[in-house]
Chains A and B, each alone.
Chain A
Amino acid sequence: MNLAMPSVFDLTQPLQLTAALTPDLVLIIGAMILVVAAAWRPDSAARQRVVGWASIVVTLLAMAAVIYFLIEGYGAGPGPIAVDNYRWMVDIVILLGTLLTLMLAIDDNDRELITAPEMHVLVLLASSGMMLLAAARDLMIVFLGIELMSISVYALAGINRRSIRSAEGALKYFLLGAFSTAFLLYGIALVYGATGATNLEVIGQRAMANGAGGPLFVIGIAMLLIGFGFKVATVPFHMWAPDVYDGSPSPITAYMAATVKAAAFAAFLRAWLEAFPSAFNAWHPAVVGLAIATMVLGNAIGLRQQNIKRMLAYSSIGHAGYLLVALAAGTSQGASALIFYLLIYTLATFGCFAVVSSLTRTGAGTVRLEELAGLWNVRPWTAFGMAVLMLALLGFPIFGGAGFFAKWYVIQAALQSDTPQTLLVVVLVLTTVVSAGYYLYVIRVMFMRPRLEGLALPVRSGGLTRFVLVATVLLLLILGIVPDYVVRLTSAGRPQLRSPARAAPYAVGGGFAQPQPMLRR
């Protein structure tokens, strides 16, 4: 057995395939050990905290493995998984989200009297599925990753068994999630029928050889688009999102809004750019339509929400629209803009939900906007942090930290694409202005309204929740002043793609798989 790792993995060799999956395996094996540890003794609050901390350690180990692979700059030949910087950057976003979820969940469980230690293990399992999604270069792996992620998250949505709202949200999420999976699968079956392959690269080559690909191929892509559209909550496939986000415990809502979305978008983009560039003219109008509908309706309905979790749900639908703009650009520049946006969006979302979690009264499940009134007078630092996070989600320069740069790079990618997406950029800017209506409203309520009569002071939140809030706000502000280093990292994660508009002959190995030791230098 050759233990020395080659710099380019040959994925037809089982051992080398396993080696290429090391970071994923760290997380999966850790989760398997912890599921036994969680079931070993009766549930208790102490046990929940211990398993939570152990899960944080496992996540950090997986993060270390990912960073090692990123620095070493491994590559891989053709095969079912990708070994490239795009995968590692997405993994970092996913694991960062996992870490923040676990931290929030330990405190939130204590407050909501949830004593189930398996909650943390389910988060780890869902994250394993997401890492598979980030790696997938084969529709079979895409399917397995999505299902591992979704089934774990269905259970997480209903983890608070005392709450009827939690159970109702879980049922809605489960039924619509399973429904969308069936569409995704039918799409995979039709694409398989049209090209005879499930490997993304092979599909791309064969579709290119047959010209645009027949009706079977195009209907297959449409079905896949519906499936992914449900998973990332784009209008008109968004109706589950506000209900599910409202019903779930706050840390899990943040996890669904940021991390699940990041993983689904990563696989979405890779499938689209690697397998379907030849059908660009078929899918591009559909993606543009989805993006416009999502940006407009998500932000417009967000305006009239009084429940902060529902407001953030519609805001997250709006952000899915902005991310679709990066995807519609259809270039590798769009891919690196997408990763940077996902990173900033993850930080901002978890910060917001740290605030929501710290202000929620036990058993209430959510926070009404009017409960935020006068927060500046009683919890000035929380109010200040929330203001920064709102401005970050809005994309305000300086005070909103890196939120501005995230939108900036998406706009840049859309305009510098071979077919400039001017219409999408105009809609993006206009809907951002609309979204100011509810982001700035939150700030106004916090700073300029008197506190409601007779409303008790919010309880002092746990240390981990405060840490998440401080860390996300500081990171956003720092990245807003010096984004260079992270931007360089995400563009190292830029997959080397042919751009679809000038795609002529398909060079084998010219896709994601090329080794890119960019960081080594």
Chain B
Amino acid sequence: MLAEALFFSAVLFTIGVVGVLTRRNAIIVFMCVELMLNAVNLSFVAFSQVYGVAGQVFVFFVMTVAAAEAAVGLAIIIALFRHRQTVNLQNINLLKG
């Protein structure tokens, strides 16, 4: 059971990483990051079957922090959208060099 959970958590994490690296829409990139965080949560829950409750406590911390991060992140995306009318990362290229 542990091995399967870890395998699927690794798969989920990899999907998240590939999504962040290939998708160009800021919102979708952010959703892929959330996918990675949930992959981590899956690992924590699986490990806490072996080691006790600490892993599940960690999951609650991760969920709370992810919610706070989403609030700030979406605010930043909106702030940029007001300037550019797009959230496509390809068009966001003012800073470079």
Binding site for B on A (CB under 8 A): 140, 143-144, 147, 151, 154-155, 158, 161, 164-165, 167-172, 174-175, 178-179, 181-182, 185-186, 188-190, 192-193, 196-198, 242-243, 246-247, 305, 307, 310
Contacts and interface: CB of A to CB of B under 8 A. Distances in A.
A151 B68 contact: yes
Interface string B13-39: 100100010000010011001001101
Given A154-B76, A189-B40, A178 B33 contact: yes
Contacts of B51: 192, 196-197
Contact of A164 (B13, B40, B84): B84
Contacts of A242: 95, 97
Given A143-B61, A186-B40, A192-B58, A167 B47 contact: no
Q: Is the contact region of chain A dominated by helix, strand, or loop, or is it mixed? A: helix
Contacts of A174: 72-73, 76
Chain B interface helix/strand/loop/mixed: helix
B37 A168 contact: no
Contacts of A181: 37, 69
B95 A247 contact: yes
Contacts, number: 119
A192 B50 CA distance: 11
A307 B97 contact: yes
Interface string B37-63: 101100110110011001101100110
A302 B25 CA distance: 30
B96 A243 contact: yes
A151 B69 contact: yes
Interface string B80-97: 100110000000101111
A178 B97 contact: no
Contacts of A147: 65, 68-69
A304 to B, nearest CB: 9
Most buried by A among B69, B76, B83: B76
B72 A164 contact: no
Contacts of B11: none
A171 B57 CA distance: 30
B43 A168 contact: no
Given A192-B51, A193-B47, A243-B95, A182 B61 contact: no
Given A165-B95, A186-B36, A155 B72 contact: yes
B72 A154 contact: yes
Nearest to A166: B79
Contacts of A175: 20, 26, 29-30, 33, 73
28 contacts: A140-B57, A140-B61, A143-B62, A147-B65, A158-B76, A161-B79, A164-B94, A165-B94, A167-B79, A167-B83, A168-B95, A170-B76, A174-B73, A174-B76, A175-B29, A175-B30, A179-B33, A182-B36, A185-B62, A186-B43, A189-B55, A190-B43, A192-B54, A198-B54, A242-B97, A243-B95, A307-B97, A310-B97
A185 to B, nearest CB: 4
Query: Among A182, A198, A305, A310, which residue has the most Cβ atoms of chain B within 10 A?
Result: A182
B61 A168 contact: no
3 smallest A-B Cβ distances: which pairs?
Answer: A182-B36, A243-B95, A196-B51
Contacts of B95: 165, 168-169, 172, 242-243, 246-247
Interface of B: 6, 13, 16, 20, 26, 29-30, 33, 36-37, 39-40, 43-44, 46-47, 50-51, 54-55, 57-58, 61-62, 65, 68-69, 72-73, 75-77, 79-80, 83-84, 92, 94-97
Nearest to A169: B95
A363 to B, nearest CB: 14
A167 B76 contact: yes
A241 to B, nearest CB: 11
A167 B76 CA distance: 7
Given A165-B94, A181-B37, A192-B47, 8 more contacts: A140-B58, A158-B79, A161-B79, A170-B76, A172-B92, A174-B73, A175-B29, A192-B58
B36 A154 contact: no
A356 B59 CA distance: 43
A165 B80 CA distance: 9
Contacts of A247: 94-95
Nearest to B35: A182
Nearest to B2: A193
Contacts of B39: 186
B39 to A, nearest CB: 7
Nearest to B6: A193
Contacts of B92: 168, 171-172
A246 B39 CA distance: 33
Contacts of B33: 175, 178-179, 182
A189 B36 contact: no
Given A179-B33, A182-B36, A189 B83 contact: no
A243 to B, nearest CB: 4
